[in-house]
Amino acid sequence: MLGPMSQPLELTRSASATEPRERHAFAFVAERLWLDFVNSDRVARGDDALSDFDRFVRWLEAAHLLDEERAASMLRRSQQQPAGALAVLGDARRVRNVLRALAERGASSSTIRSDALAELNRVLGRSAGTRRVELQADGGFVRTFVPVGDAFAGILISVVESAADALILGELVRVRRCADPRCGRVFQDETKNGRRRWCDMATCGNRAKAARHRMKLHR
Ligand SMILES: [Zn+2]
C-alpha cells in the first residue's frame, strides 16, 4: 500500500472538467501554473493564499496539485510539525517573490533571470523522488513526481518546474501584467496577435469596458 509520503504530486494539471475540487475561491487565469502561483499573492478580496498553511494546502488542491487524501495528510502533518509547516510556508513565499520578479521583469533583465535560475535550482536540487507518467481515470496522462522522505518534500516542485519550462521555452516575452494597474495579476499571453490586456475578462476586462462606456455617456 502507498503511504501518504509516496502519494504522487502532479506536475501537469489534468484537463478533466469533472474535478470535484473547488477552484472558485482562487483565480486560475494565467495559463501557466507558475503564474497562477505568483497571482496567489493577491487573490480576490485581498486574501493571500500563503497567509497560513491550511490556505496554502487549499490552493494546492484547487490547482490540482494535491488530491483530497494527500491534502488531508499534509494538514495532519502540519499540526504535528507546526515549525516544519511554517518553514514550508516561508519558503513558498520566498519562491513566489522571486517568481513575481521573473514574471514582471525577467524578459528584460538578465540579473533577474539568473537570480530566478539559482532559486529554481535550489528547490529542484533538494527534492528527492522519482518522476513518473501515470494513466488517469479519464484516459489522459499526467506527469507526476513521487517525493521520498519528508511529507512536505517536493511541495513546490510542480510550480518550479512550470517556471523552469518558461525559461527553457523562451516564454518570458509573452508574460504580461494585467492592464488594470490596481490588479497586479500576471498571465501568459497566448493570443495570436499577442495583445491580451486583461487577466480576466469577467473582472478587470469587464470593469474597463464599463468605464469606457461611462466615459462615452458623459462626453
Ligand atoms: Zn486584472
Distance 59 CA to ligand 1 centre (A): 19
The answer to whether 59 and 44 have CB atoms below 8 angstroms apart is no
> By three-state DSSP, how is residue 10 classified?
strand
CATH number, position 99: 1.10.3300.10
Distance 39 CA to ligand 1 centre (A): 10
Distance 16 CA to ligand 1 centre (A): 26
Distance 90 CA to ligand 1 centre (A): 26
Phi, psi (deg, nearest 5) at residue 199: -65, -35
Q: How far is CA 28 from CA 15, 37, 44, 121, 158, in A?
A: 13, 9, 11, 25, 15
Cell of 208: 474597463
> By three-state DSSP, how is residue 175 classified?
strand
pTM for the full model? Answer: 0.82
Cα dihedral sign, 199-201-207-208: positive
Distance 203 CA to ligand 1 centre (A): 7
Distance 159 CA to ligand 1 centre (A): 21
The CA angle 200-117-104, to the nearest 5 degrees, is 30
Distance 61 CA to ligand 1 centre (A): 23
10 Å Cβ neighbour count for 171? Answer: 20
Distance 180 CA to ligand 1 centre (A): 6
How many domains does the chain contain in total? 1
Q: Tell me the one-letter amino acid at 172.
A: L
One digit per residue, pLDDT tens: the chain, 219 residues? 344 444 555 555 444 443 444 455 788 999 999 999 999 997 555 679 999 999 999 999 999 888 898 899 999 999 999 999 999 999 999 999 999 999 999 999 999 999 999 999 999 988 778 888 989 888 989 887 777 777 787 889 999 999 999 999 999 999 999 999 888 899 999 999 999 999 988 889 888 788 888 877 776
Distance 198 CA to ligand 1 centre (A): 5
Distance 143 CA to ligand 1 centre (A): 30
Domain, as residue range, for 160: 4-218
